[in-house]
Structure formats: structure tokens, C-alpha cells
Structure 1
Amino acid sequence: MYFLNDVVSDIGVIDSFIIPDVISLYLALIAVEVRAGGDNSDPAMPTVIKAAVYLSCGAGVFYLLGREIKRRANYLSNILRVIELKRLGDYLQGDTTNILVVVSGKVGSAEPLNCKQGLLSVFVEEKAKVHFEIKLESGHLIKRSLNYLLQQNETSWYLEDNTGRVNVVEAESAVGFRDILNKYPLNIPSSEIFKKLVKPEGFKVLKYCCHESALNIGASLTFVGEAVRDKAGNIMIQRPKDLSFLVFGGEGSFNKMVSHRKANAEIYIFFSKVCGTIVVAMAIMYGVHFVRKFLLPFEWEKNKDLRKRSEKTISDSAAVQSMKKKKKKKKRKKKKMKMKMKIKMKMNLQLHFVLLNL
């Protein structure tokens, strides 16, 4: 989510074709899940199907988002980069009245402002944050915080390098302008802060803090905007009509931003490939089972009957073999008994003859 908000705020709104694609993909996969999950005879299959659906949705979202970020990064990297400001006039000759460019330079002004930190600036803003509570008639306390502007001053300024300068118009509307301001804490008496603040009954200040935001002279900035000539023929950088007006602080910040976007795009595409690979592996593992379970139910039942019959045949054959073994044991016992009887009769006859001889 961080990268999505970052892209929208820095580059502009993502193209509208992505959202319908993602929604269509999600609905199609949910439909497959509903159809396949109708038979709950195998409790493991619905879980596998849900996991495959979620991974497929994740792969689609990651791929579309990565592709869009990469497309935007490539678009920004292809914008005309003006290395020297003196050459900016060469691009605005003939029929070319405006052109999208990337310009870099340091902040300068003919009439700089003095901020309370003793630094020269072209934009100074003082804000206060107040934490307060209000006691209602019922006795309940409501705690709130309020941010409000104390004062704001600005002077005309420009970007300059060793070769020339160019004016910047409406820089406050550029995306990222608040990030390039330097913030300093201020010690302002509470009476000066609250003299213009309308206080309701039961209002009580808990704590407050003030800070000053300033764009200092000499700060290195990079603008992505439209280069045009004003009525006097001077070149200036302004907000494009159909694109976002971007500003970055620090030297080489624009190149770092583009490379960072491309790296993020590759990460998203890599995640989409990982999710897709897992889905394919799950499809291979459970594909045969899915086909036999849902597309060939009669064959499945037939195989069940065959398995039951084979198991019954095996059990019957085992019972027959056990009966045969029992019969063999009985025959052996009978033979042993006959042999014992014969031996006993012989011994009795011999004893009888011995007694007669005596």
C-alpha cells in the first residue's frame, strides 16, 4: 500500500484500465472457487482452491502494479533532461511554445526573506499545533488537536546554475513541495498564538508547539514541469496542464527516484512470478485429483466399487485359506490320536502275555 500511495502522490493517478482488469480477474477466480468448492466430500480441496484463488489474485495485482510503476518510471526517465539552464531557450524556438522538461538548480532570489532562524529564504511559513480540551455542559471532556497557520511570506525566486537561471511559478502546488521545506522549532508566547483564536466556553489549552518551515537560499531542487515563455519572453517553469507538477530536493534526487521506482517495479513483478509459480505447482499437484473428482464422478464411483470388490475378494480368499489351515490341523490331530491308540493297544497286549506266562 505504501508504494501505491507513493506512486499516486508523486507521479499522478494510476490509469483507469488497471482497476477493471483487477476486478474482472478477481470475480473470475471467485466464480471458479464457487463452482469447484460445491462438493465438500474432500475437505482438503476447498482449502487448496481458496489458496490458489488468493495467490492468483495476488499475482495479478502485483504484476499490474509493477507494470504500471515501471511504465511511469520509464516515462519519467524519457522526459527531456536539461543539463544546463542556458540551453533551455534552444528548445523553445520556432513552433515549440511549451515542452515538458526536468531542470535542476539552486534556489536564488533578488529579494530574499529573513526567517527567524537568521537564514535567507524565499518561502517562510509559521504554523502552530494546539492540544486542548473542551468541557461540555453535561460535564464530559472532549480532547482535540488543532493545526493552523500563523503567517506565510513568499518572494519571487528562481533556479540557477553556473550557466543561467529560470523562474518557477506556483511551486507551492508541486507534489513534494512540503517535503523540501526545512522545519525549525519556534518559541512564541501563548498570548500571541491565541489572540486570533476564538475560544468557546470550557476551552482549556493542554499544550502547544510552533514550527517554522522555510525554503532556504542555495537549496538544490529538481523540477518536472512545463517550460514556457511569458509575455516578456522570459523562460519559466510552470505546472503542466495534464500532468503532475513534481519537485525533489537534493542533488541527483530525480535519478534516485526513477531508479527507486524501477527497482520497486521489479520487486512487484518478481512477487507476481513467485505467486504464479506456486499456483502452477498447486495445479500440477492437485490437477489429476480435481479432474477425477469433479469432471468424472461416474468413473470415480466405479473405481470405488471396484476397490470395494477387490477388498471383499481378498478378505474372502483369506477366510478360505484360514479354513483350510484349520482342517489340516484337525487331520493332524486325528492321526496323532490314532497313533497313540495303536501304541497303547500294543502295550496292553504285551502286558497281557507277560501276565499269562507268569
Structure 2
Amino acid sequence: MLPWGGLSCCLSAAALYLLGRSSGRDAELLKSVTRVNQLKELAQLLEAEHLLPLVVAISGRVSSDTPINCEFSGLRGVIVEETAEQHFLKHNDAGSWIQDSALMLSMSKEVPWYLDDGTGRAFVVGARSATNFILPVVSEVFEESGRSLMRGTLDYLQGLKMLGVKRIERVLPTGTSLTVVGEAAKDDIGTIRIQRPHKGPFYVSPKTIDQLISNLGKWARWYKYASMGLSIFGLYLVTKHIILYLMERRRRWELQKRVLAAAAKRSSQENEGENEKASNGTDGTKRDRTMPDLCVICLERDYNAVFVPCGHMCCCVACCSHLTNCPLCRRRIELVVKTFRH
């Protein structure tokens, strides 16, 4: 049997190592991007064609010419996600009621928006696919179920008890301070955009560029240490499995050697006619056994017991009563099952 625990640890360590390398590589890329202190400087940088494509890090406040008015929170935002979840109690086979939920509605809206720092503006395109971009939850409203008596009775007969509807609103409000790392581009009418680069980092986060670099460095170190720990533990499990396997093979070989020696001694004490009679069945067929079925403990009786849970069969029932561990694999014996031959 393969040491799946050790192999899983080694594979997990490899995955963490790759994540650590990725985080470290992203941290180095963020250090190499061009930092723009004011948005008016970005237009001057883009005029130099030899710098294109230009990956920059800029900061500013979220603004829009056509913001969205949020229904529940009353905020004005540029990206709005609304979800509605139906919460209910469901009757299971055990006769009890368990709480569950189901998604009823999911809606997303986004309007063109830009970063503004008072000196200029830069539109942000495709922010929801950026790394570290999370829409904060600004409103959670739970509306209790107001169903009629007839509808409630029908739901109860179907094994349901409606509790209500939970509405969640996630919004990127106007005025939020953001840091955007991406490729800067300028169209024919002079509009500046920040978008996902063909090759390079794309971040939209409320943290500063230095905080992003520090955070990525911490994750890279954590992944590295976790990868080392899992590698050591996985190698320990694999090595332990190999040692136990070799010890079991050695014990098996020694027991087989004892059984063969006892069988040879017993056969030498019997005459040739009795050996012939024992080796032939009633139908005249010859039993060919390279390994005698002798108990490895007493070496006198045939083995007729199976150990649970290891499944080895190497002892007789009389000797099993004195054992707590299997003679072959050394696993603890939980149950002994007597076997019969027809």
C-alpha cells in the first residue's frame, strides 16, 4: 500500500512552494513598477512612446459622472452587487429540522468610473478581475417571511418552513481611496485608462503599494516555512512507511523460515505412505503447496483464524487467545475470526 498521507503532504508542500514563489515574484514585480505620485504626471509619462507599455501604481479616490444610487444602504457607488437568499427549515430523514438557504437573486451593476486626486483622472477598466479586489458588504437586511396560512401549510406538507429573505448589498462607494497597479494607456481623445496588462501585475486594493509589497512578502515567507514543514513531515511519513514495510517483510521471511523448518521436521517423522496419503485427495488429485499452513506460533496446528483489521491469517485459534498484536504487521488485533475449510 502506498503511503498516501506522506505523498499528500509532499504534494501540498510543492503547491505551497509554488504559491510562495508566485507571491515573491509578484512582490518583486510591484517593486519594479513606476510609481506615479500625481495623476497629472501620468499624462506626461504616456507622451513618451518608448515607455509603452507602461505599468504604473497610482492612488486616488473613486469617482464617477453617473454613480449608482443604492436601494438599501443609500450610498452612491460605481460597482453594486445585490444578492437575495431564501432561508428556510428543511425536514430531513432523521425527523429533525435543519436550516438551509437557496440563492434567489443575484444582480451586478457597474458604471464607468475613475480615480481622481485633484490633479487629474484615470479610468479603471476591469477592476473586478483584479487581484485583491473585494467589494465590501455595506448592507444586510433580513425580511421575515410573510406568507399566507395556505401557502405556509403547503410548504409544511413539503417538509419546509420558510424563515425569510436575506438581502446583501456589496458596494464600491464613491470617495473610496484605492491603489491601482496596471497598464496605463491613452486613447485618441486623451482619456487615460488603467487596465490589466498583457504581462504583469494587476491590483486594485485599498492598501498602499508599500503595504501590498509587505503583505506579499509575508505570504511568501509563510508559504516557504509551511512548505518546508510539510516536506519534512511528508518525508517522515514516507520513511516510516518504508521502514515498517521492510520490517514486516523481514518478520514474514523469518516466520516462513520457521514454518518450513517445522514442516520439514514433521514430514521426516512420517513414513512415505502417510505422506502420500496426506498429499492425495479422494479424487486422486495432488495438492501442490509451497508453503505449509502451520501456525507461526505453535508450529503444530494449521492456522484457522483471521485478524481484524489487518486481515492476516497466520495463527490458530488457540494461539490467538494469547496475542494482542499481529505477528506479521504488529498492528493491534481488534477481533479474531475463526475460518473453516470445506
Question: TM-score if structure 1 supplies the norm length?
Answer: 0.49
Equivalent residue number for residue 173 of structure 1 = 129
* Alignment of 1:219 onto 2:176: yes
In structure 1, what is the equivalent of residue 334 of structure 2? none
Give the equivalent residue in structure 1 for 2:37.
83
Indicate the SS of the match to 1:264.
Answer: helix
Distance 1:173 1:233 in 2: 25
For 2:106 and 2:219, how far apart are their aligned partners in 1?
39
Alignment correspondent of 2:61: 106
Provide the aligned C-alpha RMSD in A. 4.4
Partner residue of 1:186?
Answer: 141
**Structure-2 change in CA distance of 1:135 and 1:54 (3 Å):** closer
Q: Which has the larger radius of gyration?
A: 1
Name the % identity.
34
- Structure 1 position 121, deviation (Å): 1.8
In the alignment, the residues of structure 1 paired with residue 126 and residue 64 of structure 2 have an alpha-carbon distance, to the nearest angstrom, of: 15
Change (3 A) 1:270 1:123: closer
Residue 166 of structure 1: how far off its partner (Å): 0.7
Structure 1 position 174, deviation (Å): 2.4
Structure 1: how far apart are the matches of 2:165 and 2:34? 46
How far does residue 245 in structure 1 lie from its aligned partner after superposition? 3.4
Deviates more, 1:113-122 or 1:261-270: 261-270
Equivalent residue letter for 2:187: D
Cα distance in 2, alignment partners of residues 156 and 61 from structure 1: 38
C-alpha contact 2:122 2:192 (8 A) present in aligned 1: yes
Distance 1:233 1:176, change over 3 A: same
Tell me the TM-score normalized by structure 2. 0.51
From 248, 252, 257, the equivalent of 2:212 is 257
Report the counterpart of residue 126 of structure 1 in structure 2.
Answer: 82
Q: 1:277, 1:143 → 2: CA distance?
A: 42
C-alpha change, 1:262 and 1:133, in structure 2 (3 Å) is same
Deviations 1:121-172 (A, max 9, x none): 2222321111346789xx9999752224354443322101132111112323
Asked whether the equivalents of residues 84 and 163 of structure 1 are also in contact (C-alpha less than 8 Å), the reply is: yes
Residue 114 of structure 2 corresponds to residue 155 of structure 1: no
Shift of 1:229: 1.5
Structure 1 residues 134, 255: CA separation in 2 closer, same or farther (over 3 Å shift)?
same
CA distance in structure 2 between the aligned counterparts of 1:235 and 1:164, rounded to whole angstroms: 10
- Distance in 2 (CA, whole Å) between partners of 1:172 and 1:55 is 34
Whole-angstrom distance in 2 between the partners of 1:149 and 1:55: 40
Aligned length: 224
Indicate conservation of the 8 Å contact 1:126/1:212, yes or no: yes
Q: Deviations over 1:65-106 (max 9, x none)?
A: 544432221122212222211111122123444322222111
1:233 to 165, 187, 190: 190
- Measure, in 1, the Cα distance between the counterparts of 2:108 and 2:174: 17
Gaps of 5+ in 2: 148-153, 235-242, 244-342
Secondary structure in structure 1 of the residue aligned to 2:218: helix
Determine the C-alpha separation between the residues in 2 that align with 1:76 and 1:278.
Answer: 34
- Note the alpha carbon deviations across 1:26-59, whole angstroms, 9 max, x for none: xxxx9xx9xxxxxxxxxxxxxxxx99x9998888
More helix by share: 1
Per-residue CA shift, 1:11-31, capped at 9, x if unaligned? xxxxxxxxxxxxxxxxxxx9x
Matched letter for residue 106 of structure 1: R
SS of the equivalent of 1:266 reads helix
CA contact (8 A) 2:33 2:57 kept: yes
Q: Which amino acid aligns with 2:38?
A: E
More deviation, 157-166/146-155: 146-155
Report Cα offsets for 1:259-295 as digits up to 9, x if no partner: 122123334445667899999xxxxxxxxxx9xxxxx
Aligned to 1:338: none
Per-residue deviation, 1:235: 0.7
Q: 2: CA distance between counterparts of 1:154 and 1:112?
A: 9
Structure 2 Cα separation of the partners of residues 272 and 154 of structure 1 = 40
5+ residue gaps, structure 1: 1-29, 34-49, 193-198, 280-289, 291-358
The one-letter code of the counterpart of 1:114 is N
